[in-house]
Amino acid sequence: MATEPAIRLRGVVKRFGEITAVDGLHLDVPEGTCLGLLGPNGAGKSTTMRMLTAQAIPDEGSLTALGYDLPRDSKQARADCGVVPQLDNLDIELTARQNLAVFARLYRVPRGERRAAVDRALEIVNLVDRADTPVDELSGGMRRRLLVARGLVHRPRLLLLDEPTVGLDPQVRQELWALIDALRAEGTTILMSTHYIEEAERLADTVAIMAEGRIVARGRPADLVREHAGAETLEVYGPPARLAEVRAFAEEQGFRTRRTGTAVAILRSEEADGRLPDGVRRAASLEDVFVLLTGEEVA
């Protein structure tokens, strides 16, 4: 059991009609670590998350969560898993406490321990003062925290976070990051899907970059950057015609480039030896890796 990863996927395939959402996925999440599943919209992240709770059934391959075979023993696995969905599905007419109390029951927290479990979850997400406020009257950030609390009410060993901070303002996002980091420090295994690069970089021990239903790269954020994007990136600014020119020139010289909106980014510029035009030099980032591996085009 000690060497068994908390999540293990082998050759997992999931099709929706003609579309293959997950295409031969291999993935291990060791116990007590946080894995960030990074990928553009439509990469198959949410489908992967849903397969881990048997809300999607794979067409091929094998999955285990906490040692349980999925989907066969998924009910057992779900009892030890907490899920924070991307879409808010709290009961809006109920209070924060009532929402948590219902899920404490659904997750089989014994009757005598439910009240303490709810109090503890409220405390973790700092909503004790709002315990008796209907969800309807909570702010967006509070609702998201309550959603996290709902996923934690039964002290899960494994936490599945699907885009935990999507659509939140920076202050709330940082608050949630601190919360997730604290859970990881306590030893909870976390699988987090996100398309925010900074989020993956800050929270994940390991990042897996997903595109078109497969893992295209996997490693510690810093290692991924070094391996795929080198040390330094040069950003050259200018009007579109100039950018096209710079890009063509850099590629002729054997450099990989990408558009960053208003500039052209030239990767591994530390190897340039004065061959490249002037621009702003910055450290290579996970975003460079992400765009290199998942493509510039928005699907």
Binding site for other proteins (CB under 8 A): 14, 16, 47, 50, 53-57, 75-76, 78-81, 83, 85, 87, 89, 91-94, 98, 101-103, 105-108, 150
Least distance to other proteins, CB of residue 216, Å: 24
| Smaller CB separation from other proteins, 13 or 293 | 13
Q: Work out the burial of residue 272: count CB atoms within 10 Å of its CB; fewer than 13 is exposed, 13-18 middle, 19 or more buried.
A: middle
Least distance to other proteins, CB of residue 286, Å: 29
| Smaller CB separation from other proteins, 71 or 277 | 71
Least distance to other proteins, CB of residue 144, Å: 14
**How many other C-beta atoms can be found within 10 angstroms of the C-beta atom of residue 287?**
17
Q: CA-to-CA distance for 123 and 129, rounded, in angstroms?
A: 9
- Contact in structure between 280 and 204 (CB atoms under 8 Å): no
| Smaller CB separation from other proteins, 74 or 269 | 74
Specify the length of the chain in residues.
299
- Reading the block at residue 182, the tokens are 């604290």
Least distance to other proteins, CB of residue 298, Å: 25
C-alpha closest to that of 208 among 18, 60, 5, 70: 5
| Smaller CB separation from other proteins, 36 or 82 | 82
3-class SS letters over 58-112: CCEEEEEECCEEECCCHHHHHHCEEEECCCCCCCCCCEHHHHHHHHHHHCCCCHH
DSSP class of 260: -
What order of strands is seen across the sheet that includes strand 34-38?
Answer: 81-84, 158-162, 189-194, 34-38, 206-211, 214-219
Least distance to other proteins, CB of residue 16, Å: 7
| Smaller CB separation from other proteins, 91 or 296 | 91
User: Which ranges in 5-68 belong to alpha helices (H)?
Assistant: 45-52
| Smaller CB separation from other proteins, 82 or 221 | 82
| Smaller CB separation from other proteins, 92 or 222 | 92
C-alpha closest to that of 163 among 198, 195, 203: 195
